[in-house]
Amino acid sequence: MPNHKVPLNQEVLRTRISYVEDSLRSLERFKGISYEQFHSNADNFRIAFYDLHRALEAILDIGSHILSRIPGARPSSYKDIPRLLEKNKIIPSDFATNQLTKMAGYRNRMVHFYGEITEKEIYNIIQEELADLHTFCAYVEKILREPSEYNLLVE
Domains of the chain: 10-142 (1.20.120.580)
How many residues are given for the chain?
155
> How distant, in Å, are the alpha carbons of 9, 44, 66, 140, 153 from that of 146?
14, 39, 14, 10, 9
Tens digit of each residue's pLDDT, the chain (155 residues): 345 678 999 999 999 999 999 999 999 999 999 999 999 999 999 999 999 999 999 999 999 999 999 988 989 888 899 999 999 999 999 999 999 999 999 999 999 999 999 999 999 999 999 999 999 999 999 999 999 889 898 88
Digit-coded pLDDT (tens) for 126-155: 999 999 999 999 999 999 999 988 989 888
Backbone angles phi, psi at 40, to 5 degrees: -65, -20
Name the DSSP class of 28: G
